[in-house]
């Protein structure tokens, strides 16, 4: 099984190009099937979650032409089925966007109950509440969510919890509904705005995306569009924390600095230097990091998807820090792996990590429990002296394109290996 072999101790130095946002792309691709005209989506990250969603789309008759690694042309005029099978959903949670998209376009959809990263209980009750409010009947049978409507009618929907997935899914179903839909307490994440912008470029009428009230005036039909996905806030944040954790100097390029504000604010508090330009952010860390406290929150708060990365950084910072996870229930499982490296972190009540910073981490053989924690463990290994390995990198590959290649270009000693023989070779090479 593939794993990363890492020799730590080198600071990350240089420039790295950030790809398109995975979580925006998942919503945009689902939206693309809502027209029978050809859409072109650019700046698509070449990562497993995206490729699986494209396969799920092909499985119901959507024609997907990959014109280059980051561009697809999509023609959904010949959709022949409205059932998304279990296999696809098990691999990625966001296939559930096909529920909103198919329900909106055909007034019927059957999608298996979602899986995805195991980071706590991840409900879909709000998605279902939204579809029902729009007039659909929704039932769960044989592991499938079945949504059906004679017609969808605009409605006033209040989300009890701020949910990215529910906001996007309801938006998808509502754009072709009759009349006006209002989503209150909507998620404001950049990817919600990106999906709304894409839908508007196809002729939808959505206002207020990026605020907590989204207003949608239903239209009859959507048309072709050519759209480029926004840069990935979390990939950028991961490399920025990579600079901090390894006492490096990294410029993330092709980013929207505004989307990174909560991340840069924390890095500044921790003693890093930040330089921003129009589409790049440079992070320099020249001394030991300082402690801070952080609570994950919906955008524009500190993202839960950056929680493991900041925990690793605080694990080697001076003093005591507290990280509070307020979005998901069970997102500190990776802490056991950090403890193997000598970190002094105690998880209290499941959602709070109390961190006594240690001077250094030691190398270890680790396993990635999920996508973001997997990436954070790789950063920890890059900071630790000696040779480490990280298994289960399939999780990391769900959301990071060429992760090890980009890290290598910043001076990291990391290789993807497939056998013990290759590990021995790596050890001989790096000494």
Query: Could you tell me if 295 and 301 are in contact, meaning their C-beta atoms sit under 8 angstroms apart?
Result: yes
Taking CB under 6 A as the criterion, which residues in 70-129 touch ligand UD1? 93-94, 121-127
Minimal distance, residue 303 CB to ligand UD1, in Å: 6
Residue 19 interacts with ligand UD1 (CB under 6 A)? no
Taking CB under 6 A as the criterion, which residues in 247-276 touch ligand UD1? none
Minimal distance, residue 322 CB to ligand UD1, in Å: 20
Residue 157 interacts with ligand UD1 (CB under 6 A)? no
Distance CA 245, CA 272 (A): 10
Comparison of 134 and 289: residue with beta carbon closer to ligand UD1: 134
Comparison of 84 and 317: residue with beta carbon closer to ligand UD1: 84
Residue 304 interacts with ligand UD1 (CB under 6 A)? yes
Distance CA 386, CA 362 (A): 7
Residue 305 interacts with ligand UD1 (CB under 6 A)? yes
Output b/e per residue, 382-396; b: 16+ Cβ within 10 A: bbbeebbbbbbbebb
Query: Could you tell me which residues are beta bridge partners of residue 226?
Result: 40
Comparison of 163 and 225: residue with beta carbon closer to ligand UD1: 163
Minimal distance, residue 219 CB to ligand UD1, in Å: 25
Kindly determine how many residues on this chain lie close enough to bind ligand UD1 according to the rule CB under 6 A.
Answer: 22
Comparison of 23 and 284: residue with beta carbon closer to ligand UD1: 23
CB contact set of 41 (below 8 Å; sequence gap of 6+): 25, 28, 29, 32, 71, 72, 74, 227, 228, 229
Minimal distance, residue 125 CB to ligand UD1, in Å: 5
What's the longest Cα–Cα distance across the chain? 67
Among 51, 75, 163, 351, binds ligand UD1 (CB under 6 A): 163
Output b/e per residue, 303-321; b: 16+ Cβ within 10 A: bbbbbbbbbbbbbbbeeeb
Query: Could you tell me if 355 and 311 are in contact, meaning their C-beta atoms sit under 8 angstroms apart?
Result: yes
Minimal distance, residue 180 CB to ligand UD1, in Å: 22
Minimal distance, residue 96 CB to ligand UD1, in Å: 9
Taking CB under 6 A as the criterion, which residues in 183-222 touch ligand UD1? 187
Catalytic position from the list 25, 44, 117, 366:
117
Stretch that binds ligand UD1, among 66-74, 258-266, 297-305, 421-429 (CB under 6 A): 297-305
Query: Could you tell me if 309 and 370 are in contact, meaning their C-beta atoms sit under 8 angstroms apart?
Result: no
Stretch that binds ligand UD1, among 159-167, 208-216, 345-353, 383-391 (CB under 6 A): 159-167
Residue 165 interacts with ligand UD1 (CB under 6 A)? yes
Comparison of 235 and 305: residue with beta carbon closer to ligand UD1: 305
Distance CA 276, CA 270 (A): 17
The residue at minimum Cβ distance from ligand UD1 is: 165
Taking CB under 6 A as the criterion, which residues in 26-65 touch ligand UD1? 26
Among 16, 196, 327, 379, binds ligand UD1 (CB under 6 A): 327
Instruction: Give the CA angle between residues 314, 317, 323 to the nearest 5°.
Output: 25
Sign of CA dihedral 154, 159, 165, 168: positive
Assess whether 117 carries a catalytic annotation. Answer: yes
Comparison of 126 and 252: residue with beta carbon closer to ligand UD1: 126
Q: Are strands 13-17 and 249-253 parallel, antiparallel or unpaired?
A: parallel
Quote the DSSP letter at residue 143: T
Residue 316 interacts with ligand UD1 (CB under 6 A)? no
Comparison of 235 and 415: residue with beta carbon closer to ligand UD1: 235
The radius of gyration computed from the CA coordinates of the chain, to the nearest angstrom, equals 22
Stretch that binds ligand UD1, among 141-149, 158-166, 241-249, 313-321 (CB under 6 A): 158-166
Q: 418: number of CA atoms within 13 Å, CB side?
A: 0
Query: Could you tell me if 100 and 164 are in contact, meaning their C-beta atoms sit under 8 angstroms apart?
Result: no
Query: Could you tell me if 122 and 154 are in contact, meaning their C-beta atoms sit under 8 angstroms apart?
Result: no
Comparison of 328 and 334: residue with beta carbon closer to ligand UD1: 328
Count of C-beta atoms within a 10 Å radius of residue 418: 10
Distance CA 89, CA 22 (A): 16
Stretch that binds ligand UD1, among 164-172, 214-222, 252-260, 348-356 (CB under 6 A): 164-172
Stretch that binds ligand UD1, among 207-215, 235-243, 303-311, 389-397 (CB under 6 A): 303-311
Interacting residues toward ligand UD1 by CB under 6 A: 23, 26, 93-94, 121-127, 161, 163-166, 187, 303-305, 327-328
**Active centre residues (catalytic):** 117
């Amino acid at each position: 099984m593939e794993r990363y072999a890492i020799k730590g101790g080198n600071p990350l130095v240089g420039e790295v190009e950030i790809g398109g946002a995975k979580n925006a792309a998942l919503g945009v691709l689902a939206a693309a099937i809502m027209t029978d005209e050809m859409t072109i989506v650019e700046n698509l990250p070449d990562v497993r979650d995206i490729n699986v969603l494209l396969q799920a789309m092909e499985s119901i008759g959507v024609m997907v032409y990959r014109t280059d690694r980051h561009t697809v042309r999509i023609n959904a005029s010949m959709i022949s089925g409205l059932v998304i099978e279990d296999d696809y959903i098990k691999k990625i949670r966001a296939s559930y966007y096909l529920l909103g998209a198919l329900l909106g376009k055909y007034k019927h959809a059957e999608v298996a109950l979602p899986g995805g990263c195991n980071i706590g209980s991840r409900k879909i009750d709000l998605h279902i509440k939204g579809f029902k409010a729009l007039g659909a009947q929704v039932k769960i049978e044989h592991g499938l969510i079945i949504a059906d409507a004679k017609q969808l009618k605009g409605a006033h929907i209040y989300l009890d919890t701020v949910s990215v997935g529910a906001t996007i899914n309801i938006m998808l179903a509502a754009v072709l509904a009759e009349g006006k839909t209002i989503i209150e307490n909507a998620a404001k994440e950049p990817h919600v705005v990106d999906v709304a912008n894409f839908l508007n470029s196809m002729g939808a009428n959505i206002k207020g995306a990026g605020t907590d009230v989204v207003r949608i005036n239903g239209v009859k039909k959507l048309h072709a569009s050519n759209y480029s996905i926004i840069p990935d806030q979390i990939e950028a944040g991961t490399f920025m924390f990579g600079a901090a954790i390894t006492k490096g100097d990294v410029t993330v390029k092709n980013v929207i600095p505004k989307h990174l504000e909560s991340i840069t604010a924390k890095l500044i508090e921790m003693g890093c230097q930040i330089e921003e330009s129009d589409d790049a952010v440079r992070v320099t860390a020249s001394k030991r990091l300082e402690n801070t406290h952080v609570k994950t929150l919906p955008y524009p708060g500190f993202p839960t998807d950056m929680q493991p990365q900041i925990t690793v950084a605080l694990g080697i910072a001076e003093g005591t820090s507290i990280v509070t996870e307020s979005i998901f229930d069970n997102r500190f499982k990776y802490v056991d792996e950090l403890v193997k490296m000598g970190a002094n972190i105690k998880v209290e009540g499941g959602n709070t990590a109390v961190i006594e910073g240690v001077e250094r981490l030691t190398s270890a053989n680790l396993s990635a429990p999920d996508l973001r924690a997997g990436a954070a463990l790789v950063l920890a290994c890059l900071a630790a002296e000696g040779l480490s390995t990280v298994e289960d990198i399939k999780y990391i590959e769900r959301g990071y394109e060429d992760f090890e290649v980009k890290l290598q270009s910043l001076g990291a000693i990391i290789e993807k290996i497939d056998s013990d023989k290759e590990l021995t070779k790596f050890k001989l090479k790096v000494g």
